[in-house]
Amino acid sequence: MKICVLSIGRAGSTSLYNTIVRHLNKDYYCIGEPFNGAIKRINEIDKNQFGLISKKENVFIKTILCQKPDDMDLNSFNNWLFTFFDKIILLDRLDKKQQVESFSYLIHTKNKEWHRKQFYDMSLVPKETLEEWGDRIENLKKILFDLSIKHNKKIYYYEDIFVNKNMDIISEIFNYLELNMNIDVIKNYILSEDPKVRLNKKSNKLI
């Protein structure tokens, strides 16, 4: 089976990816953000992820909306995603403010550790940067919504999975993927607070 998580950034896609990976057998080729040009691949073969993925019968990827191979336009790439993959999970975040702040802070401060627990000092981020990323994310949300309508795919939200820990929603995702839930994995990667990377000011203070 071919599975894809297609997400807007800062919506919990890495945690969901890590959860699903641990439910798949060793026959699966699994890779996160295969079309992220900023990620250095191990060798030249690994750089051609599109060709590599296209040959796989059992493959699972997590990709961020608008990341794509350099030689494909976005519409063609999105059409390929929805044609090639058997199961696609669309993922976003309801709290746009938190999403914008996360992008703005990490990019403005040139922070390369996007998955490390840390406090975001938003006083460092100019208003113009917040406005720019607010517009960008709003545009991404419109693209994801249009894909949802076009391909009749439900959009799942960070808050339902990782904040409210809605077991009905979590079960729905795994039923859709035809996977039996491993409750220990669910506890470690979804129900636990460990995957959360943004710290509030109080928890960041030294004791």
User: Per-residue pLDDT tens for 153-174?
Assistant: 999 999 999 999 999 999 999 9
SS3 helix, strand, coil % of the chain, rounded to 5? Answer: 50, 15, 40
Q: Is the pTM of this model over 0.95?
A: no
| Of residues 87 and 48, more confidently modeled | 87
- Cα–Cα distance measured from residue 57 to residue 122, given in angstroms and rounded to the nearest whole number: 44
Q: Band of the pLDDT at 88, cuts 50, 70, 90?
A: very high
Tell me the average pLDDT across 173-197.
89
- Cα–Cα distance measured from residue 174 to residue 193, given in angstroms and rounded to the nearest whole number: 20
Q: Among 37, 41, 36, 35, which Cα is nearest to 54's?
A: 35
Q: Among 152, 148, 154, 151, which Cα is nearest to 168's?
A: 154
Asked whether 61 and 69 are in contact (CB, 8 A), the reply is: no
> Which domains occur in the chain, in start order?
2-196 (3.40.50)
Question: Is the predicted pLDDT of residue 45 greater than 70, yes or no?
Answer: no
